[in-house]
Homo-oligomer: A and B are copies of this chain.
Amino acid sequence: MQLKVEHLTNIRVRYGETDQMGYCYYGNYAQYFEVGRVEALRELGLSYKELEQKGIMLPVAHFEVKYIKPALYDDLLTIKTTITQLKGAQLFFEYEIHNEAQQLISQAKTTLVFVQKESMKPTSPPPAFTQLIESYAV
């Protein structure tokens, strides 16, 4: 199912997230994208926290990121998160990060997989999730 759910979140680069190059360390973007998708789900009325409490986890299976311009200390970034597809147990996200000067600094994609907490095996998303997300099909 192709989807179009878009969400904007702001994140300010913390001092501890910079490295001695003066850039936001490349590994820290993973947290920014995670915040982007959690907030995108929250806006849909879905709590990732509650999902886990029901015994379903959503680990990342694939992550790809392009670093176009550096994010710098204290930059106020805008993360645009798009949920693009639900395909079996897989949920696909795309991201763009812009800085305050409206420059595109990063593009990324992640594939997440619905997994049973006990068995650690892929599983269908909860019916309530599928139902809700269906209204965003394109």
What are 22 A-B pairs with beta-carbon distances under 8 A?
A: A12-B35, A14-B31, A14-B34, A15-B38, A16-B34, A18-B20, A20-B20, A20-B21, A20-B22, A20-B52, A21-B57, A26-B30, A26-B60, A27-B27, A27-B28, A27-B34, A38-B74, A47-B74, A49-B74, A59-B67, A63-B63, A63-B64
Main DSSP-derived SS at the A contact region? mixed
A48, CB-defined interface residue at 8 Å: yes
Q: Which of A1-50 contact B (CB under 8 A)?
A: 12, 14-23, 25-31, 34-35, 38, 47-49
List the interface of chain A (C-beta within 8 A of B). 12, 14-23, 25-31, 34-35, 38, 47-49, 52, 57, 59-67, 70, 73-74, 120
Residues of the B chain whose Cβ atoms lie less than 8 Å from the Cβ of A25: 15-16, 30
